[in-house]
Structure 1
Amino acid sequence: MAGSSFGTLVRLTTFGESHGKAIGGIIEGIPAGFSLDYNQIQHDLDRRKPGQSAIVTQRKESDKVQFLSGIFDGKTTGTPIGFTIENEDQKSADYTELQKAFRPSHADFTYQQKYGIRDYRGGGRSSARETACRVVAGAIAKQILAQKNIRIDAFVYQVGSLKWTGEWKSELKTISEANNVRVPSEELAVEMENLIREIRKEGDTIGGGIRCVITGVPTGLGEPVFDKLHTELGKAMLSINAVKGFDFGSGFDSISMKGSEHNDLFTTDGTTKTNFSGGIQGGISNGMPIDFRVAFKPVATLIQEQDTINEDFEAVKLMGKGRHDPCVVPRAVPIVEAMAALVILDYYLMQKAYKK
């Protein structure tokens, strides 16, 4: 199976299935000599783990990471960092009906057609449980970037039709992390949580959006043509389970704008008066905040009967079972931050390699 590795100089390879014994990863390219805060790594895992509130899946996983290599006396050695996270609360019996039937809009059908075999227990390799490995790697990358004064903040800005349209400031992180939805508004957090609870009672799911703002990024990160900075960020975000869209800066709103409205005019200190470019021009960072949004679809597993087919292409009925998120965005915030951190650190080290 190809496609389990991400990155160039900083490269993450993940392994494991949702209902296997463990998941884990190998991180290559982390420079030597960096002191790691294990509590901060665990904090990010806790932000992603299931069972953290009443509006997420109630699967109980401690998600305690065990490092196997690449760290000595709390510092990175420059060698590959290996780690595992045990699976503790699998309920494979919830998935027995999926041995022959395909869940609509899941990877069940495509995995079966591609490989001729699939782990039907929770989706196996296609399960979002794999993203815990990304959070470990991203938490390490964020700590290194923080020493370079690069900060990555992601937060929920939309659930269904409810949308936060305020101006992001780093001080709002305290508010977004203090509520179950992770939106930077106490009032909107209540509305969004109530909506998610209502949707869950119906046995249904709902989509949402996450915005990420990266500050302190120096100019010059990114490669021309095929390896543009926003191209890699887009690939990183679109690799996350349930993601259906990515845009940065003005994004799709730029369609209705005139060039005279959209151009980011320079000031004499090298910054720009506006940031419709989202901190990236020509695929290269321009020193302004990198600002992008990620769209997540409604979770495909519904706790209600749906029409589908079995392996013989016969029409059957299927009722979703198991413990699933009615809306993925509250738990996806640290995943977005992690993937952004891996991209920025990778390009930071590439740019550093160019300079004498």
Structure 2
Amino acid sequence: MLIAPEALWTAGRLRRGMALEARDGIVTGVRALGADTPDARPALVMPMAVDLQVNGGGGVMVNSDPTPDGLRVIAAAHRGLGTGAILPTVITDTAEVMHEAVSAAIEVAGEPGQLGLHIEGPHLAPSRRGTHKPEYIRPLDETTVAEVERLRAAGVAVMITLAPERAQPDLLARLVASGAVVSAGHSAADAAEAQAGFDAGVSCVTHLYNAMEPMTSRAPGLLGRALVSPVHVGIIADGIHVAWDMIRVALRARPAPGLTFAVSDAMATVGGPDSFILYGQEIRVRDGALVNAEGSLAGAHIDMLTSLANLVREVGVDLSEAVAMCTDTPRAVLGLAPEAVTAGTRLDDILILNDRFERERPE
């Protein structure tokens, strides 16, 4: 079979006029198409998406099933929707739930789709907690630092979201020294506090705009400081958490390309039923949004392939930038190189998409 996409994203580049030779579901070569007649002409071929904030999927939440099998179900659900690698995300909960999630992440380390663990909370600003349960929220403590160090000692990648103004400098320094990606989020930090966090090694910002102080002309806060700083930022591209115009503003304000990436912030409903239980409350999909009993947004009901389509079709992002936001940039946050489509790649491990960003299976 000869597959000639209009565009091929591989090894950090968008290439045109290329063809993939495939046999028995395996790419056997990548070359210029030339004058050959292809068997299939998809719009885009690319590696599977990468998502650094996945609270759940397939009917399972990390918090409700912080076990190896729970993490496997979540990864499988997202793989079925085009995301090949995830950071399962445990949100604010008891120390016991965090401990179980850490142990599960260590057990599944190296398995397909498992990149490590994202710990979101409980060290958040109470005023910016969102759906996180208030009674578990507390300043950064030794317990969490020790869990992160346990993950890193096992060679597991870690992202930890915290409010930098709620972190003692010595404990924050230990997180940074461990090699964890420390991300500012659910924070009431002003610009000076945000900058102090960046200077101390905070290198990322969690779901930009959401769960942080609004930016004003004299109070840029974490949001304004993040926009103009050379740190990575994640953003939810569902048109619900962030309006399309505000995504455009963010991308134009960034100091360099390759610093902004898409996250799903997906919950159990992605690839699963339309409701689930969190903290004893029912969370349900309503008009495309997930809301709790308080009426607060409770994560997102979106996958990364839909995020990619939204970035291109709704926001107007250039195809190269949009694909990178869903693949290479999140990998770079974890220090991973871009993936390549090359001889030996399984067709099941890449995305073959039509012009509506829907998956196709060449026959």
Q: TM-score range by the shorter chain?
A: under 0.3
| TM, length-normalised to structure 2 | 0.27
TM-score normalised by the chain length of structure 1: 0.27
